[in-house]
Structure 1
Amino acid sequence: MGLSRAYRWLTIGALLSVTAACGGQTSPHPVTSSPAPSPSVSAPAAPTLESAADPRLALPVNLRSRVPRFAPPPPATKVTLPANGTAGWFSRIPTDQKVAFITIDDGWEKNPLAMQLFQAADVPIALFLEVNAISDNPGYFKKLQSTGATIQNHTISHPVLKGRSYAFQKHEICGGADKLGELFGQRPTLFRPPGGAHDATTLRAAHDCGMKAAFFWKEATNKGKVFYQEEKIVKPGDIILMHFRPRFVDDFLAVLNAIHKAGLTPARLEDYIP
């Protein structure tokens, strides 16, 4: 074997010996310090309380962005009620505060998204319920009540009251209030006559049944459109009428966005009645 070849074999043998002594490491110097820590990987940031609690996230994706946010309503200014033995009558609450009032009538349609919409909107809503319309499923409206919606009176069977006898009107109004109180734990004190049709007898019977005020409206909605009686904008104090109809989701979103566009915020109707 030549000298250069023998030298190479000796060199390889020496390297192998050093490697074995170092526990298989190829470096001729053993590692005496702890291994460097792996680069830390930041965990995803936890959601903020606001985003974690945002009930809009429970809605279908196509609805989330359509629910506007509102500032809290201001402290209510009470209206003056008549002192002549009749219920008050309002289509608009007389106030300069930047508020409007959402009211929903009847109860025939029971859209499964209503509770999620109410939670996502997080605004005051008054439900004027007809006893016959809700009798098949009062539990549906108890869930809506649990979101903060209030239950008010819309008669037993939805007849036109105007021109009917005092006894007939009192039966429908008192009977509606009594049954709703039984079902929902609190007897209504506000009333809407079916179709808004009323006369002096209606307001007297309503008062005698414990109704403080009865209501008409300034705007109404149907099939996702808002219909205005006056200017094409919701004004401070306006009462807005909805119904539980097949296109409930579109109607509710249309009302919310009409109020938002007007620079107003929904307020609790009951707070304005002494």
Structure 2
Amino acid sequence: MKRKGESGVKVFYFPWPRVVVGALIVSLALSLAVAESVTRLIPALATNERLVPIYSVETPVKKVAISFDAAWGADKTGELLDTLEKYNVKTTFFLVDFWMEKYPEMTKKIATSGHEIGNHSATHPHMSQLSEEEIRQELIRTNERIKELTGQEPLLFRPPFGEYNNLLIQTVEKLGMLTIQWDVDSLDWQDLSSTAIVERVLDQVKPGSIVLFHNNALHTPEALPTIIEKLQADGYQIVPVSELIYKDHFYIESHSGRQRPKSGPRPV
């Protein structure tokens, strides 16, 4: 018999044990933690892509950059500067800190002659074997010397031996600088003849090339006038590296190191 007010439907309530509620909370927390870990992992994985320096530049105009690395000796440097002045050519010199310490007046002369000074490390180590802090100290120490002697604040870094890894490139970028290699190697450090140096450079050069020389190579002073004359006769403008590269809105091809603009024409 139904009592008055009863609907005939019985509802049963089962209170959940506290252990079940606790398990659900733990499960939810773990899910959120996993999601957060995955979110953090995605950009981390992206940085595992192989990073490369700038080897050359995509440009619609006939521009090339000539660069000199200086770590040992300065006997030939004055002759190089005279040749560059004769042809009204400005270039980039990548200097090591201990070289500048030994040759402060030559460092100043390079700068006062209108050439760009780049960072080539403090002690010329194998940079890819260093920690981030060791890399920072190599860069900062050299930048400070360049600033002290020339007043320039370097934008460009070239690693000794051409050796690099992702950590090096990322550390350079954190200091507001760009890592620069080359696509035309004169091999002048091997004491090639001036004729061989000229042939190597002119056979490889193209618009956007960065050419590597050394300040104290035996036959570079003899080869340089011919190279400059041939390039200028062919319509090339020779500029410092910083006037060749893009400063922003660019990407670098991982297989070639060629720097390209992301969009829009390159300003002339």
Q: Is the 8 A contact 1:155 1:193 kept in 2?
A: yes
Quick one: which of 193, 214, 237 aligns to 2:179?
Answer: 214
Query: Percent identity over the alignment?
Result: 22
Quick one: which of 150, 156, 159 aligns to 1:193?
Answer: 159
Count, aligned residues = 188
Counterpart for residue 147 of structure 2: 181
Quick one: which of 87, 99, 118 aligns to 1:121?
Answer: 87
Secondary structure, counterpart of 2:53 in structure 1: strand
Give 1:131 shift: 1.1
Counterpart for residue 266 of structure 1: 238
Counterpart for residue 100 of structure 2: 134
TM-score (normalizing by structure 1): 0.62
User: Could you say if the C-alpha distance between residues 262 and 160 of structure 1 is closer, same or farther in structure 2, counting changes exceeding 3 Å?
Assistant: farther
Deviates more, 1:94-103 or 1:131-140: 131-140
Q: Is the 8 A contact 2:184 2:204 kept in 1?
A: no
Instruction: Measure the CA separation in 2 of the matches of 1:115 and 1:101.
Output: 15
Give 1:116 shift: 1.6
Q: Is the 8 A contact 1:220 1:226 kept in 2?
A: no
Cα shift readout 1:10-39 (whole Å, capped 9, x = no counterpart): xxxxxxxxxxxxxxxxxxxxxxxxxxxxxx
Secondary structure, counterpart of 2:114 in structure 1: coil
Q: Displaced runs of 4+ in structure 1, greater than 4 A?
A: 226-229
Secondary structure, counterpart of 1:232 in structure 2: helix
Quick one: which of 54, 63, 68 aligns to 1:90?
Answer: 54
Secondary structure, counterpart of 2:127 in structure 1: coil
Counterpart for residue 206 of structure 2: 235
Taking the TM superposition and a 5 Å limit, the aligned residue runs for 1:162-177 are: 162-177=128-143
Instruction: Measure the CA separation in 1 of the matches of 2:114 and 2:159.
Output: 23
User: Could you say if the C-alpha distance between residues 258 and 195 of structure 1 is closer, same or farther in structure 2, counting changes exceeding 3 Å?
Assistant: farther
* Amino acid in structure 2 at the alignment position of 1:243: H
* Amino acid in structure 2 at the alignment position of 1:247: H
Secondary structure, counterpart of 1:152 in structure 2: strand
Give ranges in structure 1 of 5+ residues lacking alignment.
1-83
Give 1:227 shift: 7.0
TM-score (normalizing by structure 2): 0.63
Quick one: which of 202, 206, 219 aligns to 1:247?
Answer: 219
Q: When you count helix as a share of all residues, which structure comes out higher?
A: 2
Q: Is the 8 A contact 1:128 1:191 kept in 2?
A: yes
Instruction: Measure the CA separation in 1 of the matches of 2:174 and 2:240.
Output: 24
